[in-house]
Amino acid sequence: MKDEEDEAEYTVDGPLLRVSPYYFTYITNCKLRWQNRKLLDLFSTEFRLYSKEQYTEALENGHVTLNGVPATLDSVIRNGDCMCHRVHRHEPPVSSRPIKVVHQDDDLVIIDKPSGIPAHPTGRYRHNSVTLLLERQLGGIKVHPCNRLDRLTSGLMILAKSGKSAQKMVEQMRDREIHKQYIAKVIGEFPLGETDEEKESGIVVEQPLTTIDPRLSFNIVDKENGKPSKTVFKRLNYDGETSLVLCKPLTRRPTKLEFIYST
């Protein structure tokens, strides 16, 4: 059995790239708001990658430790406790096509991120993520994502070759020196707008949003406590069934385009 400390073993299976299963240990420290809760309850509500039944089995088999000691179904966590969960990971396969590098210099790598691959290790993915796949493709050069795209989203992604370069790029994004645009395909006839200005420049949607479930990226309009969210949408084409829409986020906070379309 492979261990996380070992180098990942990949297999090309036609259009798919598979990573061999390996052991991995999740490590987290107790947050103040978690203290005095049963460990099983905490895991099953805060870390939903696995089911309550799977966590129960892991506890019964000694795969979960609390401060280095095997935990039980009745274990209660205290502030500062260290929790470890050892699993045998089976990552989903991703495209076997090499990641296309659009530009590369001494500081940055700009890629055409393919759909279906997460930008960084998250959830069920680790080795099959853009950062680790690209580091392998570039011969071990460590990269730092400067902008993130959802797993199912394709497009340009900027990665820095050093922490200093990453910080510089983040500052440029913060100061609005770099602008993001998205092109989305949606079902139905997206409105052109009512005024000449809207038809020319696009429709401005400005609603304060609150994230109520970060794991599912589920958001609601919250006029009292929501954070500002402003985006311009302009229809580029309509084929009778679907619309091609240009989306321009105007706020620094990531705009949840999926939520806006659904409304």
Residues involved in catalysis: 150
Is the confidence at residue 173, as pLDDT, over 50?
A: yes
> Per mean pLDDT, which range of 4-18, 146-160, 164-178, 201-215 is the poorest?
201-215
pLDDT at residue 219, rounded to an integer: 74
State pLDDT tens for residues 200-214: 999 998 888 887 765
The DSSP bridge partners found for residue 207 are none
Beta bridge partners of 247: 182, 233
Measured in whole angstroms, the distance separating CA 253 from the mean position of its chain's CA atoms is 15
Which two three-digit tokens encode residue 57?
Answer: 């089995």
Identify residue 160 by its one-letter amino acid code: A
Distance CA 16, CA 38 (A): 40
Instruction: Report the alpha-carbon distance of residue 134 to residue 100 in Å, rounded.
Output: 10
pLDDT in tens, 97-108: 999 999 999 999
What is the percent of the chain with per-residue pLDDT over 90, rounded to a whole number? Answer: 72
Per-domain residue ranges of the chain: 22-89, 98-174, 182-262
Residue 48 pLDDT > 90, yes or no? no
Whole-model pTM: value is 0.78
For residue 18, the cross-strand partners are 11
Q: Are 46 and 34 in contact (CB under 8 A)?
A: yes
Return the CATH number of 22-89, one of 3.40.50.2300, 3.20.20.80, 3.10.290.10, 3.40.50.300. 3.10.290.10
pLDDT of the residue at 250: 85
Q: DSSP strand E in the chain: where?
A: 2-3, 10-13, 16-19, 22-29, 64-66, 69-70, 82-89, 94-95, 100-104, 108-113, 144-145, 155-160, 182-187, 203-206, 209-213, 218-221, 230-238, 242-249
Q: Cβ–Cβ contacts within 10 Å for residue 11, how many? A: 11
98-174: CATH superfamily: Pseudouridine synthase (3.30.2350.10)
**Separation of alpha carbons 86 and 90, rounded Å:** 13
pLDDT at 211: 73
242-249/230-238 β-pairing: antiparallel
Check for a shared fold between 22-89 and 182-262. no
Q: Which CATH architecture has domain 182-262?
A: 2-Layer Sandwich (3.30)
Res 58 pLDDT > 70:
yes
Q: In 20-153, at which residue ranges do the beta strands (DSSP E only) sit?
A: 22-29, 64-66, 69-70, 82-89, 94-95, 100-104, 108-113, 144-145
Looking at every residue in the chain, the average pLDDT score rounds to 90
pLDDT tens figures, 215-243:
555 677 888 888 888 889 999 999 999 99
Whether 5 shows a pLDDT value over 60: the answer reads no
Answer for the pair 157, 129: CB distance below 8 angstroms, yes or no. no
Q: Which residue has the higher pLDDT, 94 or 176?
A: 94
Mean pLDDT of 149-171: 94
Contacts of 257 (CB under 8 A, 6+ apart): 182, 184, 231, 247
